Every structure is written in structure tokens, then in C-alpha cells.
Chain A
Amino acid sequence: MKNKWLSGPYIAWMLLFTIIPLGVVVYFAFTDSATGSFTLHNISEIADFLPTFLRSIWLSIAATVICLIIGYPVAYYIAHCEPRKQRMLQMLIMLPMCMSFLLRTLAWVALLEDTGIINSALSALGLKTLPLIRNNGAVILGMVYNYLPYMILPLYTVIMKIDPRLIEAAQDLGCNRKQVFSKVTLPLSVPGIVSGITMVFVPAVSTFYISQKLGPSDTVMIGDVIEYQSKKANNMNVGAAMSLVLMILIFICVGIMNRFTNESDEESMVTL
């Protein structure tokens, strides 16, 4: 390719800030913190955290599915608006992303708490207060809220690019609206669905903080454990081993997803 050098900066960037740190993670995962010699002890310690891994995966799958269910109609709607409105809606979708992730989560805490805005309003009206915070639902809500834009934007891009002539052709050939959607629009938006799922699931599964603030005291996600290992327990090695295992699990999950989508569409292969 003639323009190969154009990707140079990115490759250098990736080498410096992704590949090398990844190497460091692998190194830490397989070495002893005191002596620096090779050990599998860190990996074997992960067995204790199996339920934590599983819980993280379940919660993120739930969040991803909800994101897809909410995100698809929104993306579909935006893609079929007139261009000016599209731009505005797109802006609105991205607006929450302008604010810090931590602030957004704390705002939810202020809303959902027992003495928070919603429950204070309810009790002021003489209604019973609701247990809104400190359950798994609140954690999923937090994740859906934080990652929904990552689902909507790829879906919107893909749906918008669907050739309207294909839809007209389907209509000409006698499809009703439902058939047009299930036989043309939906199959053609599979690449968007796949990248949307990836972009929500991957950050969601490694998320931390949301579960600390919105979850019950026994919902600890793997991200929280990794944070604890490296921030407080001064135990980088086990933390690195966990990150590594998490990364492998993510690859497996994405791989499974690709297997399913490959059946219907060869082009939808997602590479991380």
C-alpha cells in the first residue's frame, strides 16, 4: 500500500502503550513479587475468584442485552430522521459522555439512595420508599447508562448506511414492513450489532466503581478486585494474573459471539 506510512504513528502508539504494557502484564502475572522468578502461583490463586469472574460476566451480559434492546430502536429511529435532526440527536446521545464517568455514577447514587432525590420525593408525597440502590439491578442500570452510547453509535452508523434501494426492492417484491425489517434491515445491521455488543460488553465486564457505588456489599466485580490488588494490597502480580485471565475470557466470549454471527454473515467478523 502506498499510504502505509500513514498508519506509522498509530502503530508506534500501539506498540508503546498497548503491546509493551501487555507484555508487562504477562510478565507480572507469571513472576513472584519478591524474587521475580517464574511462578504459576498467581494464576492458581485465581480459583478463589471464580464466582467473582462469573458474576462480572453475568452482569455485563445482562447490561449488554438491555443496551441492545434499548439501543436498536433508538439507532433505527435516529437513522431515519432528517439529517439536521440526526445531527442533533447524535449530539444528545454523546452529551453524557462529556461528563466524567465517576461523576455520572455518583449522580446515580444521589438519585437512587434511600435518602436520595427519588425516594425523598416519594416520601414527601406520602408514598412508600423503594429499595432502588444496592442491588444487582442498580449495577446493571449503572452499566447500561454508562455504555449505552457505545451501542447506539455503531448501530446508527450501520443502519444509516443501508442502501435504501434494497429496502425499496424488498417492498417491490412484496415484503410487508415486518418482512422488510426481518429480511433486509436486521441482517444488514448485524455488523453494527456485533461491534455494539463488543463495545459494551468488553468495558462492562472489566468495570469497577459502578458496583462499589451502586451494588450491594456482596456484589464485587472483578474490576474492583483488580483495583484492590494493585491499589491497596500492593499485590500487582495477582492483579496482573487476573487481568490476563479476564482478557482471555473476553476473547473467548467475543469468539463465541463471532461464531454465531459468522454463520449468517461472513463480513461481520470483529477483531479486537
Chain B
Amino acid sequence: MKKRLFSVLLIVVLLVQLLPVYASAEEVTINVYNWGQYIADGTDDTIDVIAEFEKAYPNIKVNYMTFEDNESMYTKLKTGGSSFDLIIPSDYMVEMLIAEDMLVPLNFDNIPNFAYVDETFKNPSYDPENLYSVPYTWGSVGVIYNSKYVDEADTGSWNLLWNEKYKGNILMFGNPRDAFAIAELALGYSLNTEDPDELRASYEKLKEQKGVVQAYVMDEVFGKMERGEAWIAPYYAGDYMTMADENPDLKFYFPEEGFNLFVDAMCIPKGCEHQKEAELFINFLCEPEICGGNLDYICYSAPISAAREYLDESMAESDVVYPSDEIIARGQSFSALSSEATSDMNELWLLVKISDKNTVLLLILTIAAILLVVFLWLILKVRKKKQKAIRCKKWKQAARMTPEQ
């Protein structure tokens, strides 16, 4: 009885969540889907962007969700089941989403603050007519290392990530596009190569690296680098600033072979329910003061020059966040790959991750185990038969012994 009551309760609890939530008529909730650790939330004396927005527009609530990388976001959009009003993917992903007709053209009448955006960030190559996106931040990828353990002489190139000396203390990007970019740069290829041979060579390069890699991570890099659990990691320059705040031993450099320059941009995906409110949020984020306050927390570079005066001085003058033109000239940006190249890359990436040296041992062990099981089973069977035979014999003997009545 008790059990039944419990299961009924359980069902009720599960069903309650299915009930629609009745909100007051004018209140609107927008679903915002952004990278993890990518908006100022009020900690460390920064502004709380979402709270400020909700204060400015009391009838709009923000339902904020995060993703780990562009690929997870894309898969989530593609498989459906959820509707987002605002997403903030990177440049090449925006291009891909436009090509697949998954974005809604923005109504720039609702985004007057777009005027603040620097000319260099308008009409970018990923959105040539600037119909679908408003830049959120820009930044670069470089190598973060712990100067306490890593010899200065080894730094300067991507090859540090292949250095046997630091085996087990090197982290690597946990997403295919960024990881392949590093291998491609180390091999001197373009970041946007679709040549199967070059992809194959990059795959071999990544496989070769696997022995020295501690783990393939995304935002876990923060904790691991800050605590000194790992010493070397390629990551986004802005995030280096956040980490360096916690651990001053951490240093950063732009590898000589070149590096990735990226823009993360705000877009509205098809299937959104509150386009106007989402556009108001975009507009709010473009306000120089808000943008400056927000970037003070996330430490990425501002596509709005006017925001720089609201930035912390150390940030505005940092040559990691705002590198010199000479360094920027070495940067390359991603463009969308064809779907064949993308799935090729995904597949090769998975092969990198599952590759392992002990395959033969594993196979031998398994075959041995299977043989053992079969052998044991046969022995059991034979023994049973024997026992049965012995028992039968005994019965027969017993039957013979007793004289028939």
C-alpha cells in the first residue's frame, strides 16, 4: 500500500511540471542561449546585466541558458524541441546558420544602438549584408601557460602543446573546430581547409598529441589552470584575463604560426516567439555603458569603441585583449565549412578521442575471457552430466539390490 501511494505521488510530482505556467498577459519571457561564463552576473563588483535589463524592461523576463561550444548549440537548434529567442554563436557558425536558413533577419529599427558598433565589425564576411547579426564580442585564441612550471624558452609556438616535457599537464580544446585549427596552424595549413588530405594530416597531428594531453576540455579550463592542475592550455584570450586574476603566474602568448580571431554575434533563430523583445535585449547589450560593464566581467574585446571608456583601465590597455595591429595581422578568422568537411572533421575528431595504444591487448584479453567462459560452461555441463550418470547408476544399483516384491 505504501509503495503504491509513493508511486502515485511520484507520478503527480512528474506531471505537475507538464502544467503550463500561466503568466500575466503582458509579461514576456525571452529564451537566451549563450556560451557559459559569458555574461556579467554581478559577481566581483560587475554589473548584473540580466537584472539591469529586467529593471529597465519590467515586463520582459530573461530565461538564460548556456552551451559549451558552437557544435552543441547547433545540434540543439537542429534537433528542435526548444525555442530560443536569442543565440550568440561564433562567426563561422553564424555563416552556417545563415546558409541553412535558420536565422531571422533582424529589424534594426529596434536596435538603434547598432550605430555604436565599429565600422570594422559591420558587414562582416560571415554576414556580408549585416542582416542577421550584431557583434557581441570579439577575441582571439592563444596559449595560456603557468610560468611557474613552464620554461619561457619553450613558449612562442603552438608546438608547446606537443612538448613531451610537459606530458600530462597539457589541456586541449574539447571541440573539433578549435582543436583542428591548432593542428592546422602548427602544420601551416589554412584554418578553413576542406582538403581531405590536410584534414587527415591534422588528424594525425592531433593523435600524436594525445599522449601528452591531460584532458580535452572547454570551460573546465578555468579551474584546472587556476589551481595549477594543468600548466598549458590553448584558450580564448579574454578568458585568460579572468584566469590571471585568480592566478598571477599564468601568462599568455599569441603563437607565431598565427591564431584564430573570432567574433561572437547575437542572432535570432527561426522559431523564436518574441523577436521584438529579443531585439530590445540586443539593443540593451549594445549600449556602450552596459557593453563596457559586461566586458569588464567577461574580459573579451569590445566591438564598440565607445564602450572602452567604461572599461577597467587594466582591461582597456591590455595587449592581450586589444593586441597591436601587427599581431592582429597574424590572425585568421573561421569561415563556415561545407557540410561534408564538417562531418569529416567531426568523425576524425571522434577518432582522435577514441584512439588508444592498448587496442591489441584489449582484444587479446577479450578473446581469452570469452574462451574461458565457454570452457567453464562446458566443464559445468560435463560435470553435471557425469553427476547425473553417477546418480542414475546408483539408483539402478539400488533398484537391483532391493528384491522385487
B215 touches A233 (CB 8 A): no
Chain A residues in 8 Å Cβ range of B176: 232
A113 within 8 A of B: yes
A228 touches B353 (CB 8 A): yes
B354 touches A225 (CB 8 A): yes
A115 touches B227 (CB 8 A): yes
Chain B nearest Cβ from A260, distance in angstroms: 7
B43 within 8 A of A: no
B72 within 8 A of A: yes
B351 within 8 A of A: yes
Chain A nearest Cβ from B167, distance in angstroms: 11
Of A49, A51, A230, A263, the residue contacting B384 (CB under 8 A) is: A263
B229 touches A233 (CB 8 A): no
A54 within 8 A of B: yes
Chain A residues in 8 Å Cβ range of B363: 51, 54
Chain A residues in 8 Å Cβ range of B324: none
Identify whether the interface residues of A are mostly helix, strand, loop, or mixed. Answer: helix
- Total CB contacts across the A-B interface at under 8 A: 83
CA of A51 to CA of B71, assembled, Å: 26
B315 within 8 A of A: no
B359 within 8 A of A: yes
B366 touches A58 (CB 8 A): yes
Chain B nearest Cβ from A240, distance in angstroms: 12
- Beyond A217-B214, A232-B175, A234-B75, is A225–B350 a contact (Cβ under 8 Å)? yes
Chain A residues in 8 Å Cβ range of B354: 48-49, 51-52, 220, 225
- Beyond A49-B354, A115-B227, is A134–B168 a contact (Cβ under 8 Å)? yes
Of residues A58, A113, A229, A232, which shows the largest number of chain B Cβ atoms within 10 Å of its Cβ? Answer: A232
A217 touches B213 (CB 8 A): yes
B365 within 8 A of A: yes
| Interchain residue pairs with CB less than 8 A apart (15) | A48-B351, A48-B354, A51-B363, A54-B363, A116-B229, A218-B357, A229-B350, A232-B176, A233-B75, A233-B346, A233-B349, A234-B74, A234-B346, A235-B343, A259-B377
The 10 closest A-B pairs by CB, nearest first: A218-B356, A233-B346, A234-B75, A232-B71, A51-B359, A115-B227, A115-B229, A217-B213, A220-B354, A54-B362
